[in-house]
Chains A and B, each alone.
Chain A
């Protein structure tokens, strides 16, 4: 199977997954927002996870979400409404804009730099050995022989 065909299947699979999760009922939207919004009672958890009994802040925020849902507002508009009322701290994750963008981008940049460093190390460690070879190239080792040697080495080195 070609790589392009594999990619097509993967993209189709992802599309199917997205279709399956696209449409949400109002209660589901409320639940989704409950995972994206922090409870402001001091419990330091999301609205859905606030462990406080009879939490006034939780009920107030839920009341706003339900009222907005009844008005027909969509999820982004409801989240914006909550930010207007309580500030950005109500969101369980900072919006990816302005300085907050660094929160989202930095881990990715770190991962990328780490990968480049790892590749650079591998290249650096390999290069002197290749340069040192200099003279006539060693005869190629048969894969069967190499496999047998690896199995033997595993017994003693690991």
Chain B
């Protein structure tokens, strides 16, 4: 199967190069035959990349340790659930996985556009296949997952198959880790498609409304995956790393946040171009930046230029990525520069107090966030290069810089939708802002008298109340208008209102999810920690909670041995149940790992870690954290996901517009052919 996979990889490379060249020729000559050929190359690339992925999965599932990759990242006792993710747990496999996901995206783009966007498609295929060529070449040349193990002998080399593999990094053996990397990769990889659409629109001078409408959806999908991947990564860190937090401003975490922030800026500013024909150059810059940061994120995760707790696969691929990133910047900025004349703004700003200005300032804050995170992330490398001093840039830096930016963004999340397009009168501002501000002031007052005196925490919750009230107000006002004009009850009015404009109301739901996430962040200010040695019968108090050690047991599972402590928990004399934190020792990997015990509700998480055994007393070292409002972060993440899915559903208005546009395009293309 190693040979089959290797052949699949070579064939994929051939199809990628062929598709890149024929796509470019089809675009230049406007040849339908060449376009057909390029489309077939995409399908061939998908088939061959799939063959390579299936081959590698087969090697993993059948414990073929003659394969160097399988021997390094899997073991016989690894449960099936974790054998499948072995594909993306190492450098070589993850690059192959990246390539395969790209083949799916490009295949889908070809399939969904087989009867439309005919002028854009040749260059879209060419650009996507160019990206595919880079990743396939990298996988084949630098990090080939189909290398086989061999032993050096006096006469040359002889094939070698070890009895068992090294196993998977224990910290990766967690359920959300099974889907977290694919989600992030779907986010990173997917940004190639809007980039290709944008470049193709520039190259073909097809810079009307169409490309921006199509591209918006192609940005939303990977943006959704990226956001989900980020939240799942936080969920994994919270459950596995054992320090009771979900975000540590680690370089790899930051790498995933950067394209998400740039993509968020684009999703907002694109509305100004759609509705007012403004910010055309800026939107191009944002698309280029988002794609650049996606590749930069992959580079950061995989190159190991910056130390990271998440960098599970590092190798010498840095120079390859540096050259590729330089090509992206050089190519895209050249094309953009050559087409600047076609990107003239169609309208002027009517007023500073307008939705357009709101989006402009939203973009300003989001880009400032990108700059701050990017600068903080690469500063250790810059410092080493400039002053030859190794420095660390961690949470104290990012918290100090990013919290004010985050709060500003939260304010704009609430204020933006309250402003009308073109111009908002003073009377409107007064009417729209009054109720949300009164509600926020009441909440702020209650919080202050309840003892919330930390400035940032108070401001965060105050703004959360403001944004939540403004969102609810928007739904209420819209529903009331429908109730007045029709015979709908409130719930039917809210439903119909939402489905009539899924994009707008889906967006509001996403904003509401962000509010919940910020509430969760604010809860961290009230975190409480304590630690103690515990043997059977010992007690440990953490605020109102009492922990009693019932027993310390040992056991063995297929791939690990464990020590576990049974702790009965009570609050004010009421039993809350038993918590069992574990300390696991993974046999194949020869690595220990904590397994956190959790009791959660919306108000707080009880987070208990067995940090180890005290050698002198023979007692367990128990670390208890009372973590308020953490569940709001996960809940917010789910709501952001649902809101995005809703926004992706075409609304009634959009469907009608699409039909109209299809007819117009058919007429235009008939004219073009004629």
- Chain A interfacial positions (CB closer than 8 Å to B): 14, 16-17, 20-21, 31, 35-36, 38, 42-46, 48-51, 53-54, 87-94, 98-100, 103-104, 106-107, 110-111, 114-115, 117-118, 121-122, 125-126, 128-129, 143-144, 146-147, 150, 153-155, 157-158
Answer whether A14 and B455 are a contact pair too, CB < 8 Å, given A51-B243, A114-B364: yes
Q: Which residues of A contact B345 (CB under 8 A)?
A: 125
Q: Is B571 an interface residue (CB 8 A)?
A: no
Q: Does B657 contact A (CB under 8 A)?
A: no
Q: How far is the CB of A48 from chain B (nearest CB, A)?
A: 7
Which chain B residues border A99 with CB–CB below 8 Å?
A: 383, 386-387
A88 and B424 form a contact (CB under 8 A)? no
Q: B481 touching A155 by the CB < 8 A rule?
A: yes
Residues in A with CB closer than 8 Å to B405 are 107, 111
**Nearest-Cβ distance from residue B276 to partner chain A, whole angstroms:** 10
In whole angstroms, what is the CA distance A54 to B583 when docked?
12
Query: A107 touching B364 by the CB < 8 A rule?
Result: no
The stretch of B51-59, B332-340, B395-403 that contacts the partner chain: B395-403
A91→B242 contact, CB < 8 A: no
Min CB distance, B85 to chain A, in Å?
Answer: 20
Question: Taking A17-B453, A110-B371 as contacts, is the C-beta distance between A88 and B391 under 8 angstroms?
Answer: yes
From residue 57 to 96 of chain B, which have CB atoms closer than 8 A to chain A? Answer: none
The one of A53, A129, A154 in contact with B348, judged by C-beta atoms closer than 8 angstroms, is: A129
Residue of B250, B379, B423, B611 with most partner-chain A CB within 10 A? B379
Evaluate contact between A143 and B426: CB separation under 8 angstroms: yes
For residues 216 through 251 of chain B, which have their beta carbon under 8 Å from a beta carbon of chain A?
240-243, 245, 248, 250
Q: Which 4 A-B pairs have the closest CB atoms?
A: A107-B372, A92-B394, A49-B243, A93-B397
CA distance in complex: A103, B389 (Å) = 14
- Cross-chain contact A106 with B594 (CB below 8 angstroms): no
In the assembled complex, B375 has its CB within 8 A of some CB on chain A = yes
Query: Hey, which chain A residues are within 8 Å of B481, CB to CB?
Result: 155
Q: Which of B14-64 contact A (CB under 8 A)?
A: none
- Chain B, residues 557-601, CB within 8 Å of chain A (1/0): the string is 000000000000000000000000001000000001010000000
- Check if B428 sits within 8 Å of A150, measured CB to CB: yes
| A-chain residues with CB within 8 Å of residue B422 when the two chains form the complex | 153
Residues in B with CB closer than 8 Å to A90 are 392
- On whether the beta carbons of A146 and B350 are closer than 8 Å, the reply is no
**Is the pair B394, A158 in contact by a Cβ cutoff of 8 Å?**
no
Q: Which residues of B contact A35 (CB under 8 A)?
A: 395-396
The verdict on B315 contacting chain A, using a C-beta distance below 8 Å, is no
Query: What are the residues of chain B within 8 A of A104 when measuring CB–CB?
Result: 397, 401
Separation of A49 and B396 alpha carbons in the complex (Å): 13
Known: A51-B243, A100-B391. 12 other contacts (CB 8 A): A17-B453, A17-B455, A92-B396, A104-B397, A111-B364, A114-B364, A115-B364, A118-B360, A122-B349, A122-B360, A143-B425, A154-B421
Contacts of A49 in B (CB 8 A): 241, 243, 245, 248
Q: Known contacts A99-B386, A110-B371; is A125 also within 8 Å of B420 by CB?
A: no
**B361 and A93 contacting across the interface, CB-CB below 8 Å:** no
Give the shortest distance, in Å, between A52 (CB) and chain B (any CB): 9
Contacts of A107 in B (CB 8 A): 368, 371-372, 375-376, 401, 405
CB distance B360 to A45 under 8 Å? no
Within the assembled complex, what's the spacing in Å between the Cα atoms of A150 and B421?
8
Q: Determine whether the beta carbon of B308 is less than 8 Å from that of A44.
A: yes
B421: chain A residues within 8 A (beta carbon): 153-154, 157-158
B207 within 8 A of A: no
Q: Report whether B395 and A147 are in contact in the complex, using a CB–CB cutoff of 8 Å.
A: no
With the chains together, A144 CA to B431 CA distance in Å? 12
Are A46 and B424 touching (Cβ within 8 A)?
no
Contact A110 B368 (CB under 8 A): yes
Cα distance, A107 to B400, chains bound together (Å)? 11
Chain B residues contacting A89 (CB-CB under 8 Å) are: 390-392
Whether the pair A51, B594 counts as a contact (CB closer than 8 A) is yes
Contacts of B3 in A (CB 8 A): none
A53 touches B364 (CB 8 A): no
| Shortest distance from the beta carbon of A126 to any chain B beta carbon, whole Å | 5
Query: Does B504 have its Cβ within 8 Å of any Cβ on chain A?
Result: yes
Known A20-B453, A45-B309, A143-B427: A103·B390 in contact at CB below 8 Å? no
Select one of B278, B387, B424, B453 contacting A98, CB under 8 A.
Answer: B387
Smallest distance from the beta carbon of B430 to chain A beta carbons, Å? 10
- Collect the chain A residues with CB atoms within 8 Å of residue B395's CB: 35, 46, 92-93
List residues of chain B with CB within 8 A of the CB of A44: 250, 307-309
- Can you give 11 A-B contacts (C-beta < 8 A)? A35-B395, A49-B243, A92-B392, A93-B400, A103-B397, A114-B367, A118-B363, A118-B364, A125-B349, A129-B350, A147-B427
B241 contacts A146, CB within 8 Å? no
